Amino acid sequence: MKTGKSKYPNTYYRVSIKAIIRNERGEVLVARENPEIWNLVGGGMDHGETPLGALTREIYEEACIDSPFEATIEGVDSRYLESLHAYYMWVVYSLRFDSGVPVYGVGAD
């Protein structure tokens, strides 16, 4: 990880990687963030991490999926979230697994 003074001070985007994961019936896997919010599987990129590295890590952490996959970008969205006082960017991927439908594990976050 690089350290030191930023060339772009006072800038901050939280980049989140999200995955559209479908089962054989086309249903999309979602994760419960809290009692009121459901979301696509995924989460924030760590500094120095690639988008696909973050995607692989997040689907394992949240759904215990450790199957090889192909990822296609479905969309990118960015906005300022007043509730968090931060700019967010979401990169959403659609996943296709080499072995068909992934097997979900036990012990996800």
In this structure, what CATH number is given to the domain that contains residue 30?
A: 3.90.79.10
In whole angstroms, what is the distance from residue 72 CA to residue 55 CA? Answer: 12
Cα atoms found within 13 Å of the Cα of residue 67, Cβ hemisphere only: 17
Contact 91, 20 (CB under 8 A): no
Per-residue pLDDT of the chain (109 residues; tens, 9 = 90+): 445 565 666 667 889 999 999 988 889 999 888 899 899 999 999 989 999 999 999 999 998 888 889 999 999 999 988 887 888 999 999 999 877 666 565 555 5
Q: Identify whether 4 is part of a domain.
A: no
Q: Per the structure, how many domains does the chain have?
A: 1
Q: What is the pTM of this model?
A: 0.79
Domain interval for residue 77: 13-97
Task: Dump the DSSP string for 37-88.
Answer: EEEEEEEEPPTT--HHHHHHHHHHHHH-----EEEEEEEEEEEEETTTTEEE
